A and B are shown apart, each in its own frame.
Chain A
Amino acid sequence: MTLTTDRPTERPRTGTLVEQFELGLDAPICLTWELTYACNLECAHCLSSSGRRDPRELSTAQCKAVIDELQRMQVFYVNIGGGEPTIRPDFWELLQYAVDHQVGVKFSTNGVRVTPERAAFLASPACNGYVDVQISLDGATAEVNDYVRGPGSFDTALAALQNLQDAGFTDAKISVVCTRQNIGQLDDFKALADRFGATLRLTRLRPSGRGADVWDELHPLPEQQRVLYDWLMAHGEDVLTGDSFFHLAAFGESLPGLNLCGAGRVVCLIDPVGDVYACPFAIHDNFLAGNLLADGGFQQVWQTSALFADLRSPQTGGACAKCEFFDSCRGGCMAAKFFTGLPLDGPDPECVQGYGEQALAADRVVPAPSQDHSKTSPTRNQPVMLQLLTRPPSQPPVSACAESPLSGFTP
């Protein structure tokens, strides 16, 4: 008799698409590629704790080799993000290279480099309609947006949208992370999108990166989740969600889109230094599958990493298995559970059946971050809410024109 430790290579031919996806694909469907950890802003909830460039970031030539590999793997499009991808000097060159190699690009930006000239380029035949632009905006008013994204960021985003519209770029996306502060603005976001001929995209706030520090304050309240669900049910057709709200399916009817956690199965992240993670919201050593420079390329990591094999093996529902909504909710988001210190096979921290709150109230240890590229000292772009969270001064601030060399000094 032969003993084999290999997992069976035959997989069931039947089963729903979701069941097939849970077993993994030969190449990802939803690949995110963060080009740099550098950013002009310092959003309070940044999923990748971005701010400073990492000296090990992939060079232009290395990035082009990644695009070549994606073309060979038939990854038809990639979501490019960061950090702020457009502040890489070779960003536009890489964009053109991807388009020329049948890899469509959807890139996320805060708008800082979307000038009239760049907008004209994006609308031009050079991009061949293969480029999608997603402008991040987390409030329909400057007040709500700048609270988390920093002063001036609302105006920057709107200027970018205006430039795109003026250049004749059609169907830009306005990408909103839903928070406690902006759930009341859903109609306003829609109106804003209509005004710019754009499509609204709503996604879920996860406690990833710096998001872990502010999640308690920003994540929607239980009654707001209901508001969001009802709004999505009413506007499902005209609004994109990145399929990120499937935990809301436990309110009743499933939302359109894929209802499963795709991490390592159909979803994946390549970070600026070439590390491959199961999901853009799971930048942590526990979800690191390998590095495309050190481990023989992206395809090799995607197809052979032990972590991904594990994520693609049948999972147990744990405490959720008994829940009548498990088929549609599937226990929610792995990253949301992990970064709030909850067991991965239990309920989501925002479980709409209320089991998340119970779990959060129990003993748990929030994992320490395994990387942080935040700026080490604050800049003028830092959101105000972070300043409120830092240590209150023990004495009145020293005015800028205090002349005494000892001002502010307490022996």
Chain B
Amino acid sequence: MDDLLGEPWMLSPSVALRPEPFGALAYHFGNRKLTFLKRPELVAVVRGLIEAPDVRTALETAGVPASQHPAYAAALRGLAATDMIRRRTGENGAAA
């Protein structure tokens, strides 16, 4: 299992999400990268990260079945690579 599932994450502060019929468009004002979130479920997960103690909870809240968690973890890693989402540190960054 990907460690990320037990960690607290969030949408990067410089990213804006624009809802679209297929999901959303994510734009990073810092590195000016444009990314497409191709499923509404993924958008719900990404938006929910900040409220959740860890990624797994965000996935469960968005109704993603456990069998799909590894696939979502991989998609989130992809988003992390361009700083669309980042790991929360400090205050409630409880996980190891």
Contacts and interface: CB of A to CB of B under 8 A. Distances in A.
A309 interface: no
Contacts of B16: 74, 76, 102
Interface in B1-32: 16, 18-22, 25, 27, 29-30, 32
Contacts of A130: 29
B34 A76 contact: yes
A41 B63 CA distance: 58
Given A17-B38, A74-B16, A104 B32 contact: yes
A76 B38 CA distance: 18
Chain B interface size band reads 10 to 19
Interface residue tally on A, bucketed by range: 10 to 19
Interface string A120-135: 0000000001101000
A77 B21 contact: no
Contacts, number: 39
Interface stretch (A18-26, A181-189, A370-378): A18-26
A56 interface: no
A15 B21 CA distance: 12
B21 A76 contact: no
A95 interface: no
A26 B18 contact: yes
A27 interface: yes
**Interface SS of chain A: helix, strand, loop or mixed?**
loop
A26 B22 CA distance: 10
B36 A17 contact: yes
A94 interface: no
Contacts of B36: 17
Nearest to A74: B18
A76 B22 contact: no
B14 to A, nearest CB: 10
B22 A13 contact: yes
Contact of A25 (B21, B27, B32): B21
A29 interface: yes
- Top 10 nearest A-B pairs (CB, nearest first) are A74-B18, A76-B27, A20-B22, A25-B20, A26-B20, A17-B36, A11-B21, A74-B16, A17-B38, A76-B16
Interface of B: 16, 18-22, 25, 27, 29-30, 32, 34, 36, 38, 40
26 contacts: A11-B21, A13-B40, A15-B22, A17-B38, A20-B20, A20-B21, A20-B22, A20-B38, A23-B21, A25-B20, A25-B21, A25-B25, A26-B18, A26-B20, A26-B21, A27-B18, A29-B25, A29-B34, A74-B18, A74-B27, A76-B16, A76-B18, A76-B27, A76-B29, A76-B34, A104-B29
Interface of A: 11, 13, 15, 17, 20, 23, 25-27, 29, 74, 76-77, 102, 104, 129-130, 132
